[in-house]
């Protein structure tokens, strides 16, 4: 009885060993297949030709005043056969970041601005080309200085960068003078730059909030009072003196005439 049990146990172990050996290739093949089951991506070359495509500016220098001064950048995408490429994404980025306002012309009127986080690109900074392979961007800024614009086409093609310059405004144009009350923190503005907000786009209004433009002079109330007194008092003093001088001359003439009339003529 014991021999039969031992014999059956040995036979079961041997059978299990042979079964595991026979199933090993299938298990190994399945494991290998699972290990090789990964996704691959293929990079499709862009038809955009760097040599045939063009980047044009209507001006390279403008005043740093977005209300009425802007630069128009036009990108034309073409292939190697100089045929226009439509429906391709074009992105324009400035090396100065949000200091420069870049707006796709086709989106300006319909786009509602949302404040972009630092380091992100505004949706207005990219657009798709039309049937002629063209798209245009308006660039403005409140801050003077040079900017380098990088243009990327079809997400992978880097076109030639362009340099533009925003010129500073004349000093009085950016000057703000305020009077500070000694009794409270209130300020009264005497002189301040006047921007017609209705002429600014939503993106430009947001940019204006983020930058500090111009110079601000705080004028104490007592100093303002002295200046007002001098500005008003000096002309009044000059006028009064002029009037008194004329009166003195008139009185002097009258006295001379009177003395002449009383003096007898010489014999």
Q: DSSP string spanning 46-76?
A: P---TTT-EEEES-SEEES-TTT--EEEEEE
How far from 142 is each of 174, 191, 250, CA to CA, in Å? 11, 19, 61
Domain ranges of the chain: 54-171
The pLDDT of residue 257 is 72
CATH architecture of 54-171: Sandwich (2.60)
Q: What is the mean pLDDT of the chain?
A: 76
* 23, pLDDT greater than 60: no
pLDDT category at 90 given cuts 50, 70, 90 is very high
The pLDDT of residue 75 is 96
Average pLDDT, integer, range 204-226: 69
Average pLDDT, integer, range 52-79: 93
* Most confident of the ranges 90-99, 101-110, 216-225, 239-248: 90-99
Tokens of 220: 């104490």
* 250, pLDDT greater than 50: yes
Average pLDDT, integer, range 187-211: 69
Average pLDDT, integer, range 120-144: 90
pLDDT category at 37 given cuts 50, 70, 90 is very low
Taking the C-alpha atoms of residue 188 and residue 174, their distance in angstroms, rounded to an integer, is 17
For residue 220, list its beta bridge partners.
180
Q: How many CB atoms lie within 10 A of CB 153?
A: 24
Please name which of 142, 135, 108 lies closest in space to residue 122, comparing C-alpha atoms.
108
Bigger pLDDT: 67 vs 222? 67
Name the least confident of 15-24, 213-222, 236-245.
15-24
Name the least confident of 5-9, 136-140, 238-242.
5-9
pLDDT category at 63 given cuts 50, 70, 90 is very high
Say how many Å lie between the first and final Cα of the chain, rounded.
Answer: 190
The pLDDT of residue 16 is 57
The pLDDT of residue 49 is 94
Average pLDDT, integer, range 76-101: 94
Bigger pLDDT: 204 vs 11? 204
């Amino acid at each position: 009885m014991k021999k039969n049990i031992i014999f059956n146990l040995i036979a079961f172990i041997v059978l299990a060993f042979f079964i595991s050996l026979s199933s090993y290739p299938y298990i190994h093949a399945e494991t290998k297949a699972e290990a090789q089951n990964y996704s691959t991506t293929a990079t499709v070359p862009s038809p955009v030709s760097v040599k045939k495509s063009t980047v044009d500016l209507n001006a390279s220098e403008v005043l740093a005043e977005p209300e009425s001064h802007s630069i128009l950048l036009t990108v034309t995408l073409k292939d190697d056969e100089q045929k226009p490429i439509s429906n391709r994404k074009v992105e324009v980025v400035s090396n100065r970041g949000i200091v420069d306002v870049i707006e796709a012309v086709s989106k300006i009127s319909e786009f509602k601005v949302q404040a972009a986080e630092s380091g992100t690109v505004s949706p207005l900074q990219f657009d798709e080309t039309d049937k002629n392979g063209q798209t245009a961007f308006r660039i403005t800024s409140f801050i003077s200085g040079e900017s380098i614009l990088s243009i990327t086409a079809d997400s992978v093609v880097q076109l030639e960068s362009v340099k533009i310059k925003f010129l500073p405004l004349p000093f009085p144009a950016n000057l703000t003078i305020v009077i500070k009350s000694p009794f409270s923190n209130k300020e009264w503005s005497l002189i301040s730059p006047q921007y017609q907000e209705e002429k600014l786009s939503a993106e430009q209004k947001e940019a204006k909030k983020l930058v500090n433009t111009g110079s601000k002079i705080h004028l104490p109330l007592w100093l303002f009072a002295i200046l007002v007194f001098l500005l008003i008092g000096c002309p009044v003093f000059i006028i009064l003196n002029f009037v008194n001088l004329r009166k003195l001359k008139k009185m002097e003439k009258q006295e001379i005439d009177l003395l002449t009339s009383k003096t007898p003529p010489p014999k």
